[in-house]
């Protein structure tokens, strides 16, 4: 029983990491598209792209921070199984 629980936990952690990676990629692409469109439309050089890269880095840092906070909350308060009769 314990082995299967560990396997499930390991798979969930893998899926969370994969989900965070996909989210990071989407955030980076989103900000780069906005920056490039703004630069090409207004002709500002690379200023908007550089700002958007900075915003992507900030967004990724916030995502990582949120995930670490969720992990801490899960460790502090493990869910207990309750039996209802």
Q: How far is CA 50 from the centre of its chain?
A: 21
Query: 59 with 28: CB under 8 angstroms?
Result: no
In a domain, residue 82? The reply is no
In a domain, residue 61? The reply is yes
In a domain, residue 78? The reply is no
Q: What is the rounded CA–CA span in Å between residue 12 and residue 7?
A: 9
In a domain, residue 80? The reply is no
In a domain, residue 81? The reply is no
Query: 53 with 31: CB under 8 angstroms?
Result: yes
In a domain, residue 12? The reply is yes
pTM for the complete prediction? 0.58
User: Containing domain of residue 62, as a range?
Assistant: 2-69
What is the count of structural domains for the chain? Answer: 1
Q: In tens digits, what is the pLDDT along the chain, a chain of 85 residues?
A: 556 777 777 777 777 777 877 888 888 888 888 888 888 888 777 788 888 888 888 888 888 888 777 767 666 555 565 665 5
Q: What is the rounded CA–CA span in Å between residue 26 and residue 65?
A: 17
Render pLDDT for 28-42 as a digit per residue (tens, 0 to 9).
Answer: 888 888 888 888 888
């Amino acid at each position: 029983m314990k082995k299967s629980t560990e396997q499930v936990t390991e798979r969930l952690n893998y899926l969370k990491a994969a989900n965070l990676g996909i989210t990071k990629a989407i955030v980076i692409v989103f900000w780069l598209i906005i920056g490039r469109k703004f630069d090409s439309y207004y002709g500002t050089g690379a200023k908007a792209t550089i700002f958007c890269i900075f915003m992507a880095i900030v967004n990724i840092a916030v995502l990582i921070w949120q995930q670490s906070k969720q992990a801490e909350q899960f460790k502090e308060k493990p869910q207990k199984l309750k039996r209802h009769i």
